A and B are shown apart, each in its own frame.
Chain A
Amino acid sequence: MDNIQTTTRIVPDENGRFGAFGGKFIPETLMNAVTELEIAFEEARRDPAFVQELNGLLSEYAGRPTPLTYAERLTNAVGGAQIYLKREDLNHTGAHKLNNALGQALLAKRMGKKSIIAETGAGQHGVASATVAAKLGLSCKVFMGEEDIRRQSLNVFRMKLLGAEVIPAVSGSRTLKDATNEAIRHWVSHVDETFYVIGSVVGPHPYPYMVREFQKIIGEETRSQVLQMLRRLPDEVVACVGGGSNAIGMFYPFIQDESVALRGVEAAGKGIDTEKHAATLTLGRPGVIHGSLTYLLQDEGGQVQEAHSISAGLDYPGVGPEHAYLKDSGRVTYTSVTDAEALEAVQVLCQTEGIIPALESAHAIAEAIKRAKEMSSDKILVICLSGRGDKDVLTIQEALTAEGGE
């Protein structure tokens, strides 16, 4: 929340458009609510008291700034670029999600709302929302796909322990997309008293913009940490992309640094030549999902298709509209990594650095390893390690056992 963005902010425009993408494709019932939110956010962001309170929570409660770790043994094992890890896994609750949840919940309180609702895929945003609700004295309902509830039972218990109510979404594919539909339906019904804390850079304007503003602290810290440690900018920055909030948060402060290559990594699931993937930017077409025009996995008639990834947090058929814009503008390169490659990367990081990464983040690690191999040892590559993998240990165990048994 400083003045970097006032000089570099190009998008979105006043209609919430990132080039052709973004906008507000939502029921009329919600239009006033998003307009009020837009005004409230603009006021809050310029209010020194709000910024100070948020920064205080980020440092004294969340534990920011998170460190930048030189991954020496990983670098040596790969034998290429010098690899650094931005440690969002060390943020309170174990992922970058808290940065945004704190910002939005503080805004909810400022707007006089007593309850917050949230959607969650892997459970990380749900846990972050439940956490901030407890900290700020708000009630909290978390919508979660039934399939994800099964995959992430530990996070479900965590949310309940934190005092939140977890509501299963039983429609459609019973994953993040459907949890988001249910959260929007609840919001439409309770719009006067409820603040919807969206967990990624998706949804109608101003969410993609607001979430970026709350997450860009990742890239701002990284940029100054690299400059301080190495007296130069990195050559490449890699982050995973589901909805894409850690990636936007990481990339945004580097957008004007043309020498820094930016690479977003989607989930290829069982492979982009199969139907089981979540590679929206790689294989999708522009369409509307959850209030925003963006790349979308859909059939010919415009029905939204189910995404697949071993990582619940990347299992989403849409993507933030700013990523759609950055793809089309060519500023960011988007690639994809399979379930198997991500699992392999988990093991590599565990054994070289003693860090269990979230399955989401493992996609960035897998891609970074491929990239680093092709780069010389005087190059610097930073990975956004968006979350820790404790929540995924059971999934990883199941997958590795199945693999070994084949």
Chain B
Amino acid sequence: MATALNRIDQLFADRDRKRFIPFLTVGDPSIEATFHLVKAMVEAGADLIELGVPYSDPLADGPTIQRASERALKNGVTIRDALQLVKRLRESGMEASIVLFTYFNPVLQYGIERFFADLAAYGADGVVIPDLPIEENGPAVTSAKQHGIHVISLVAPTSSSRINTIGAQATGFLYCVSSLGVTGARADLREDLADFLERVKASTSVPTAVGFGISTPDQVRAVAPHTDGIIVGSAIVQQIEKHAEQLKDPKQMPEAVEKIKTFVHQLASALQ
């Protein structure tokens, strides 16, 4: 049962500081690599880690994260492995917030109640389920509340009148989808992004974080004034993909981790 204050709430207690949220897929290219990458990202300035659970049919994801998912699935990675990784990160002393990103079917098969109980027991703080809109999230939210876990809602530029409903129900933080489409790095962000983000902010008491398509320090700087946090996924996963062979080799892993750490640091420091 929930006892301590959720780490996400603690993290955003000081709204003057913007938060950086990297995404990576568990088990891409190996669970060992993911462990070291997460630790390095926290050292590089990440405040909250979004851990992707690989899925066979990731329909909200673009090619980069699809490929990461395929690589992780080839390693046989499951939701259980993701939970074990969270446990190991906590045992290693990591205090940054952790949110799992998973499609709904693996959660359903694991058992909704058992999933949220285990998230809490293993030390996770929240979950993002991209194919579970508010109309369908009742049972998940009930279990999550019991265990002190946040189900992070998403809001999109097309949400229009739904923004207020979603904003009113949001807990933890509100995940703002910056552009139409799937995840993936984009050269340009929407012109009306600032307007959208300001509307979302006005709709909710929880902090906001922006993701989908943000890949460069310049984009981070441009979006920062309109949000409490920034999520970068595909751009980081591309770096992991580029260094996959080294990350799999214990001797070369530290050097590759260091390169990705530098990349994350550039993004994270653009936020302050």
Contact = CB atoms under 8 A, between A and B. Distances in A.
Interface of A: 15, 23-33, 171-172, 177, 181, 184-185, 188-192, 285-291, 296, 298, 300-304
Given A27-B156, A189-B180, A301-B78, 19 more contacts: A23-B136, A26-B131, A26-B133, A28-B158, A29-B181, A32-B158, A32-B159, A33-B158, A177-B57, A185-B60, A185-B182, A189-B182, A286-B108, A288-B105, A291-B131, A296-B105, A301-B106, A302-B105, A302-B106
A290 B104 CA distance: 11
A20 B94 CA distance: 41
Nearest to A30: B158
Q: Could you tell me the dominant secondary structure of chain A's interface residues?
A: mixed
A172 B59 CA distance: 12
17 contacts: A24-B135, A25-B132, A27-B130, A28-B130, A28-B177, A29-B158, A32-B160, A181-B59, A185-B62, A185-B182, A190-B180, A287-B105, A288-B104, A288-B131, A291-B131, A302-B105, A304-B56
B154 interface: yes
Interface string B154-165: 111111111000
A32 B158 CA distance: 7
Interface of B: 55-57, 59-60, 62, 66, 70, 73, 78-80, 103-110, 130-133, 135-136, 153-162, 166, 177, 180-182
Nearest to B180: A189
Contacts of B55: 303
B158 to A, nearest CB: 5
A298 B73 CA distance: 14
Given A25-B131, A177-B57, A192 B110 contact: no
A31 B181 contact: no
Contacts of B107: 302
B131 A191 contact: no
Nearest to A287: B105
Contacts of A304: 56-57, 105
A404 B131 CA distance: 48
Contacts of A298: 105, 109
Contacts of A302: 79, 105-110
A191 B109 contact: no
A28 B66 contact: no
A237 to B, nearest CB: 32
A171 B182 CA distance: 15
Contact of A24 (B136, B161, B162): B136
Question: What 7 A-B pairs come out closest when comparing CB atoms?
Answer: A189-B181, A302-B109, A302-B106, A29-B156, A303-B56, A302-B105, A28-B154
Contacts of A300: 109
Contacts of B105: 287-289, 296, 298, 302, 304
Contacts of A181: 57, 59
B140 to A, nearest CB: 11
B104 A25 contact: yes
Contacts of B130: 27-28
Nearest to A285: B109
Contacts of A27: 59-60, 130-131, 133, 154, 156, 177
Contacts of B159: 28-29, 31-32
